[in-house]
Amino acid sequence: MTRWLARALEKMANPELVPKLPKWPKLQAEADSGTHGHFGTASEGDLDERAALAEAEGGVSALYSLAFAKLQMTPPPGLSVERWLLSVDDAGRFLDSHGALAERLGWSADALFAPAGLIRSLRGAAVVSLSRTGAHLSDGRVIQRAP
């Protein structure tokens, strides 16, 4: 388990560690459409702060830090909470082990973090080898780099 997932699970298991978020009043359009609150949104300042922490404390490249922060703070549409947390863990493990190499090989943040990108394709598998064109995974899959 990576330190990213360990921190998330620790906070989930210990309610005192989970920050209390203010309740936002619903706009009339939200009440009519059935949207419940503002879960999954993060201000630009919050994203910038999380990105800076990823760079300073986690050694994440500036090229990837904002995309990683966004993944940590906002669940991508269509992902269950379980898959979202797995994606955050996959991203942390990948950046710890292959982040610097990915940058040298020219992998963009989109190629890693987009819905069809490498991070979302990992699904718990580790990257065994990385090249300019793709990645070989621990479960035998080969993921081609998205254009």
Task: For residue range 65-95, list pLDDT tens digits in order.
Answer: 999 999 998 888 888 999 999 999 999 999 9
Give the pLDDT of residue 54. Answer: 82
Give the pLDDT of residue 53. Answer: 81
Give the pLDDT of residue 35. Answer: 35
pTM of the model: 0.70
Q: Is 48 exposed, middle or buried (0-12, 13-18, 19+ CB in 10 A)?
A: middle
Give the pLDDT of residue 40. Answer: 55
**Residue stretches of the chain with pLDDT short of 70:** 1-5, 8-9, 11-12, 14-42
Give the pLDDT of residue 4. Answer: 65
Give the pLDDT of residue 99. Answer: 95
